Structure 1
């Protein structure tokens, strides 16, 4: 991998919305955001001008929420800050094989539209990050069940050229410590690599257990990221 190959990861939201997720996008001028109920991620150019922010506000509406993710541009002063979270972007190193049997694990099942109520319930109980009724349309989502109960999940989210983000990795408290996250991330990584793409992910700096797991699986930190959310005027 060259630095040029990874440059698209500097703006993973914008690259996804202008590319493979264009069918799930709303655009106005140079501003772009996802359709409602898919995601709240939005993007403007790194050197955004006032017209770009006005266009994004037009897309989101008055009092709309803009999750600027890894966007380095600062919004106008009348945009209300909602949250700031420090994290990191991690990428697949490529020097470690995926866990044996990851692509054929019989306990890992593919999730779809019929599973959305359970997926939303799992996210509400575990808080892995933003997840909406149509988020599963961003890519493949996999789960692990205990009987008929969904106890763990992970899926594909942002998809800049040549890359696929692994996200929504979560397990119910009573099912933790059984290796579910390792199995799910391994299965997703194997799928991504089979398409000649590379996996990447984002994680909060405070989530040291997840960072350690991802490093064991073959990921390394690429860059620090500040996740920020704002409310439009």
Structure 2
């Protein structure tokens, strides 16, 4: 289990993931790095002085292309056009002594989602809009789901992987299955898996999503810091 001092890698989790656990899913040029297409949209640049890294990223992505900078702590040169700004928060799991999450009996209704489930995963994402999710996003980590009558009605999975940490993401439930505790079941299952391999769970949530924030707090997550998510278009 990582200690509190290891949380500094969460200040730029995209770069920490792409230079570490997800290096095999990265495209790099100079001071810029981004995920390969169809896996994730996120990019990162080195925080050194000057605009060289932003030029590297523009070359990687191409002209007039979308640059999803997640919570990148540095801003691009003025010729980069803003696309969106979203206020959110980063939450880390601190429920180490919660017997409701660790040591509980396995939830046999929760299944691991494989390549054969991708069409169903994409269909659920289309209906629920949990955030960026592409055809190869499941390659970032383990994704779990719940079915009802053979239909995938809820899922959640692992996304960013800074050293010692795993982000829980893509938490979504079909409208007809809401109110059944699906999200809580999936998050508990993921937390158990992540902690069992000696890592610590964290996640990101939009500040306006107060219902999700309340759920995460009940499940042992606390706010580490406020973040601002940004997207731009390259020159």
Common fold, TM-score beyond 0.5? yes
Q: Deviations over 1:137-190 (max 9, x none)?
A: 000000000011000000000000000000000001110000000000000000
Could you say which residue in structure 1 is the equivalent of 2:21?
A: 20
On the 8 A contact 2:27/2:33 being kept in 1, the answer is yes
Gap regions ≥5 residues in structure 1:
none
Using the alignment, how far apart are the partners of 2:16 and 2:197 within structure 1?
18
1:131 matched to which residue of 2? 133
**Aligned 8 A contact 2:43 2:68 in 1:** yes
Alpha-carbon distance in structure 1 between the residues aligned to 2:156 and 2:169: 6
Query: 1:83-98 counterparts in 2 under 5 A?
Result: 83-93=84-94, 94-98=96-100
User: Which residue of the partner structure matches residue 196 of structure 1?
Assistant: 198
Tell me, in whole angstroms, the C-alpha distance in 2 between the residues paired with 1:48 and 1:69: 20
Matched, 1:104 2:106: yes
Contact 2:93–2:200 (8 Å) recurs in 1: yes
Residues 1:188 and 1:141: Cα distance change in structure 2 (over 3 Å): same
Q: Structure 1 CA distance, aligned partners of 2:49 and 2:121?
A: 36
The alignment's TM-score, normalised by the length of structure 1, stands at 0.96
Structure 2: give runs of 5+ residues left out of the alignment. Answer: none
State the 1:102 CA deviation. Answer: 5.7
3-state SS of the aligned residue for 1:33? strand
Cα distance in 2 for residues equivalent to 1:97 and 1:70 = 33
Q: Give 2:143's aligned residue.
A: 141
- Please identify, of 96-105 and 117-126, the stretch whose mean Cα deviation from structure 2 is larger: 96-105
Instruction: Please tell me whether the aligned partners of residues 102 and 190 of structure 1 are also in contact (alpha carbons under 8 angstroms).
Output: no
**SS state of the match for residue 89, structure 1?**
strand
Other-structure match for 1:36: 37
> Aligned in 2, Cα 1:8/1:97: closer, same or farther, shift over 3 Å?
farther
Give the aligned length: 233
SS at match of 2:69: strand
Q: Are the aligned partners of 1:166 and 1:200 in contact in 2 as well (CA < 8 Å)?
A: yes
Secondary structure, aligned partner of 1:221: strand
Give 3-state SS (helix, strand or coil) of 1:32's partner: strand
CA distance in 2: counterparts of 1:206 and 1:169, whole angstroms: 16
User: Distance between the aligned counterparts of 1:130 and 1:102, measured in 2?
Assistant: 31
Which deviates further from its counterpart, 47-56 or 206-215?
A: 47-56
- TM-score between both structures, scaled by the size of structure 2: 0.96
Matched ranges for 1:1-233 at <5 A: 2-47=3-48, 49-93=50-94, 94-99=96-101, 104-233=106-235
What root-mean-square deviation, in Å, do the aligned CA atoms of Structure 1 and Structure 2 show? 1.4
